[in-house]
Structure 1
């Protein structure tokens, strides 16, 4: 008996792409009400363009350098920028490499590299030395600047810093999960089944949210948190500027790590903000502005 004609073969069903990854730090924040006087780029030796925003440039006070956390941009310090300008201090706020309006460059990503970017931008603007406010990754960069480039740093407020990857609590595996989700999204559209849709013109990757390039960049930034930093607490004895170490009561940074930083920096002050988590600049910018201006006033009295 002849085999029944089955008609044309149906194409294989395409698997669905991975779920679009959520922003890993989505909490809203208030941007600066003060308009910038300058928005420019510092070009690094490896070709990165570090976006720098200067607020209150004509003010007479000592400048304040602000360094944000992983996956963010400078405007998370909005109300703190405004408070500094009202107090008479110019503000230099950077978008760190591969974040905000700054580009990636080609050098391997390390906290030492990010600190060097900040030093280069500050010197290039002619606004050093400065008081430094760093949050999370930015606080790590601030510690490195104060230790290794003391001539650039008048005082330091380090919010939510850690010395080792183990210093970040990851009890539910959120860090690895977020990174894996971003990597899967980038890979599906770049080399996986989604790549055929891109090649055919059915999908414009620039219209995806996030784009494959954005997802890969965010995954690289999260990987940085998984493998770095490696800062010996004893090395922070070289920090000589007035320093305030800040953490939230429910911070993702291990309390032992915060205390190790506080104990290592000579004459440091420790402030633990009750009821707050890690995102102090977003949760209570007024408290952060007060702590920063207190630290600046103390440093300038000295």
Structure 2
């Protein structure tokens, strides 16, 4: 396994890990989480003979924030920078929450670099985040876990600052219309959990209907944390989307 840091814009240092051989697949985690959350999926894709790449989004996990304001465009650029460093001309993407938004933004801004997008719990506008979700027991549990992990992994900054940065980002982005969504030309699955406490199903369905090469999938008996609640179901869904590879 190859691990390290690549320099991002604004003097950020972006952590990554890469392993395996075969079809390259980049896994992107949700806001306030880190790449460790993708471990079960990463192991499953390695067994399926994929080349798996994970990264900590800037300001998350082991990656530093740098000096620039956080934006989805900046997060997309970090992915492209890492791909250039790893000499990946294109890759499939699996994104969860903010990672799904990040993957779709890469597909819009750098279409030649994206072969497929598995977008779990994506959004199109700030209204896609349900205000009631903050009070859900699973979200409260996640926040406690994320804070502990941040203290263990982070080399700089504070969890409260990161939380404020993400809240500011969520208030203003993404802001995508159907005209924006059609810029995604790669095959895409818009995937929802049937009991997602954080992301509005309507926006997931909008993505599936607006993008020409898109499909809609609903994961049963799961919430926003489906990849942790039922890792076998989640990994089989991803492998099916990738064509069984």
TM-score (norm 1): 0.71
4+ aligned runs moved over 2 Å, structure 1:
171-175, 211-214
Partners of 1:218 and 1:166 in 2: CA distance: 18
Partners of 1:289 and 1:95 in 2: CA distance: 20
Higher strand proportion (structure 1 or 2)? 2
Residue 122 of structure 2 corresponds to 161
Residues paired across the two proteins, number:
230
1:65 pairs with 26, 29, 43, which one?
Answer: 26
Partners of 2:206 and 2:220 in 1: CA distance: 20
Deviations 1:229-279 (A, max 9, x none): 112222111212111111101112112111111111113111111211111
Partners of 1:245 and 1:77 in 2: CA distance: 18
Unmatched tracts of structure 2, length 5 or more: 144-150
1:144 pairs with 2:108: no
Deviations 1:146-183 (A, max 9, x none): 122111111110000111111111137649xx8xx9xx
Higher helix proportion (structure 1 or 2)? 2
Structure 1 residues 164-173 or 109-118, which shifts more?
Answer: 164-173
TM-score (norm 2): 0.87
How do 1:210-225 residues align onto structure 2 when only pairs under 5 Å count? 213-225=158-170
Partners of 2:190 and 2:157 in 1: CA distance: 37
Partners of 1:249 and 1:172 in 2: CA distance: 14
Partners of 2:109 and 2:213 in 1: CA distance: 18
Partners of 1:212 and 1:151 in 2: CA distance: 34
Which structure: larger Rg? 1
Partners of 2:133 and 2:47 in 1: CA distance: 42
Is the contact between residue 52 and residue 95 of structure 1 (CA under 8 Å) also seen in structure 2? yes
